[in-house]
């Protein structure tokens, strides 16, 4: 594995200097920028437009204990239950205790959550899978977009923040264990740029695009995890990939999410025969944890020999559904469906990555002055299976903690000589004319077919052989296109995800091995990868 995707000499490149560089324009990245004092200069780099991220697509809402019958303790219990024994309890405690404070800050930034019909002073609360209380605040069925729109509006008004759209972060610049900035590439000019910074924050999202069927946007190719690994950073829990149970299954669209909130409002799942089946599998039926519901749907599809099941919320009227789920209702209408009358065809698809860049409670990584938050990070919150609507909450809670930590570091920073560190890379790469687009598609098909909801040693080993073969072919390739960069990152991550899944010889949370169906106490550990080591940590 080459340390960098491209050869370069920082002395010969355009240079930009910032106090903080944030990679990623989703909720985690933008909120972090807003919480850093305005006296510091900040750059936000986005792979596409700042309005394209997994955050924007988030439908359901944000979990926060606001009701009198609820509490942070109960929220914590539900999170630990869903996480199947692998949550970091200290991280979860931070999440639930600091939730309300951060929601108040979102409201101050102008985010308009739905209000309770009984008392407009209070936020409306709904329930999703594995939550024991109504604690999901929302903005219709487009919560992520509402939050992103308001945060982006605020950040564009900040004179200290510069947003670089269509600017790809390629690799971190690390010397003596500390991050000095990063090397990036402008899509328009295809010229590398050096961004020097006192702190770099990774908020690039997950690696859902490793899979053919995913709810994630095209930008979610795991770039942050890949360039962190190449720089010597640690990656944790990569085998835990969550499949959302209810994604539209239509000839024209197999990636549109049908929010878990629909089941929270009473929708039931039916098989091809019209029979309700979830009570046969789990006492919580449709509101069981996501990994359970996805596996049950998968088994029911195998039983009936079909490619999808159906979601039924026809007990609710058109007016209510159109108001509660305006985005879902209108989207289904485009495909000739009325959710107040028709059963919605759905099937599981990749949705969220519990694993990522290993961090502590302040978002710090093992690389000095380098931080991670949002889906790119592994804070220990989600364990083996994320509790619904904890993801946006994690992004803001830990984004703010990073902002406070970075602000403290910048205030005490006395020596900025690292801004002038030179990085020089020269390798013997070859022009191969390799079809990277075709190889990317091959990886996505391999991961979907062999590293999905149900896994075995045989399927995982076959997947590993396919990925390693591609890795060998591109090992010394001269990367010249953006597809080349994506392929290098995807090959690296796919190999690590598969190796972690092979190592974990048990079934836990989102990781289900049909050849090791039991959950084992000896595997109540985390698999942590770095360039030099693979370790099991309790």
Tokens for 154, please give them: 């605020």
Reference 225, options 211, 242, 208; nearest CA is 208
Cβ neighbors of 143 (< 8 A, separation 6 or more) are 58, 59, 60, 61, 62, 113, 137, 392
DSSP codes of every residue in 330-351? HHHHHTT--TTTSPEEEEEEEE
Contact (Cβ atoms closer than 8 angstroms) between residue 117 and residue 124 = yes
Contact (Cβ atoms closer than 8 angstroms) between residue 48 and residue 165 = yes
Question: Which residue among 230, 263, 290, 508 is the active-site one?
Answer: 290
Cα gap 377→357, rounded to integer Å: 4
Contact (Cβ atoms closer than 8 angstroms) between residue 66 and residue 137 = yes
- Residue 68 has a CB neighbour count (10 Å cut-off) of 6
Q: Within a 13 Å sphere around the CA of 295, how many CA atoms are in the beta-carbon half?
A: 22
Sheet bearing 356-358, strands edge to edge: 377-378, 356-358, 235-236, 526-530, 533-537
Cα gap 512→63, rounded to integer Å: 26
Q: Give the three-state DSSP class for 71.
A: coil
- How far lies 325's CA from each of 71, 79, 128, 286, 474, in Å? 27, 25, 14, 18, 45
Inter-residue long-range contacts of 336-340, CB under 8 Å, 24+ positions, other chains counted = 339/313, 339/314, 340/313, 340/314, 340/316
Cα gap 526→207, rounded to integer Å: 19
Matching residue, tokens 């559904």: 321
DSSP codes of every residue in 107-168? HHTT--PPBPSS-TTSB--B--TT-SS--EE-STT-HHHHHHHHHHHHHHT-TTEEEETTEE
Q: Give the three-state DSSP class for 297.
A: helix
**Phi, psi for 204 (deg, rounded to 5):** -85, -5
Q: How far apart, in Å, do the first and last CA atoms of the chain sit?
A: 29
Q: Within a 13 Å sphere around the CA of 27, how many CA atoms are in the beta-carbon half?
A: 29
Q: Is 513 a catalytic residue?
A: no
Cα Rg of the chain, angstroms: 22
Reference 486, options 209, 140, 190, 261; nearest CA is 209
Reference 358, options 88, 175, 101; nearest CA is 88
Contact (Cβ atoms closer than 8 angstroms) between residue 42 and residue 160 = yes
Q: Which of the residues are catalytic? A: 290
């Amino acid at each position: 594995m080459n340390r960098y995707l491209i050869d370069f000499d920082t002395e010969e490149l355009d240079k930009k200097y910032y106090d903080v560089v944030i990679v990623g324009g989703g909720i985690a990245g933008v909120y972090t920028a807003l919480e850093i004092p305005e006296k510091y200069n900040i750059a936000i780099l986005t792979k596409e437009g700042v309005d394209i991220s997994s955050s924007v697509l988030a439908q359901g809402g944000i979990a926060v204990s606001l009701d009198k019958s609820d509490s942070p303790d109960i929220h914590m219990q539900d999170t630990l239950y869903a996480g199947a024994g692998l949550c970091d309890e200290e991280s979860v405690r931070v999440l639930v205790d600091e939730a309300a404070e951060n929601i108040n800050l979102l409201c101050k930034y102008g985010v308009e959550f739905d209000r309770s019909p009984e008392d407009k002073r209070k936020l409306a609360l709904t329930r999703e899978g594995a939550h024991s209380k109504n604690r999901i605040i929302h903005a219709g069925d487009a919560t992520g977009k509402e939050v992103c729109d308001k945060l982006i509006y605020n950040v564009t008004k900040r004179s200290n923040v510069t947003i670089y759209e269509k600017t790809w972060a390629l690799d971190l610049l690390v010397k003596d264990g500390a991050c000095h900035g990063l090397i990036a590439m402008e899509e328009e000019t295809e010229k590398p740029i050096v961004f020097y910074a006192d702190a770099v924050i990774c908020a690039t999202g997950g690696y859902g695009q490793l899979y053919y069927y995913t709810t994630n946007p095209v930008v979610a190719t795991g770039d942050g995890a890949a360039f962190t690994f190449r720089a010597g950073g640690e990656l944790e829990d990569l085998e835990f990939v969550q499949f959302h149970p209810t994604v539209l299954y239509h000839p024209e669209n197999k990636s549109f999410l049908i929010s878990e909130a629909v089941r929270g409002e009473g929708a039931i799942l039916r098989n091809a025969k019209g029979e309700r089946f979830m009570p046969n599998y789990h006492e919580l039926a449709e509101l069981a944890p996501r990994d359970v519901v996805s596996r049950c749907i998968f088994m029911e599809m195998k039983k009936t020999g079909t490619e999808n099941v159906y979601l039924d919320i026809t007990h609710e009227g058109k007016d209510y559904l159109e108001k509660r789920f305006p985005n879902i209702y209108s989207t289904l209408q485009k495909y000739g469906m009325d959710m107040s009358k028709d059963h919605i065809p759905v099937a599981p698809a990749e949705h969220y990555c519990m694993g990522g860049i290993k961090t502590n409670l302040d978002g710090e990584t093992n690389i000095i002055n380098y931080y991670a938050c949002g889906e790119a990070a592994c804070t220990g919150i989600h364990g083996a299976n994320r509790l619904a609507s904890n993801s946006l909450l994690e992004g803001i809670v830990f984004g703010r903690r990073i902002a406070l930590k970075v602000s403290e570091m910048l205030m005490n920073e006395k020596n900025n000589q690292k801004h002038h560190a030179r990085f020089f890379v020269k390798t013997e790469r070859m022009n191969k004319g390799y079809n990277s687009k075709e190889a990317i598609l091959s990886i996505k098909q391999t991961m979907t077919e062999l590293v999905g909801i149900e896994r075995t040693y045989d399927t995982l080993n076959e997947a590993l052989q396919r990925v390693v073969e591609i890795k060998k072919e591109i090992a010394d390739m001269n990367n010249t296109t953006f597809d080349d960069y994506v392929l290098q990152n995807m090959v690296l991550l796919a190999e690590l995800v598969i190796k972690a899944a092979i190592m974990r010889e048990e079934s836990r949370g989102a990781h289900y091995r049909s050849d090791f169906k039991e959950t084992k106490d000896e595997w109540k550990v985390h698999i942590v990868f770095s360039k030099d080591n693979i370790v099991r940590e309790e």
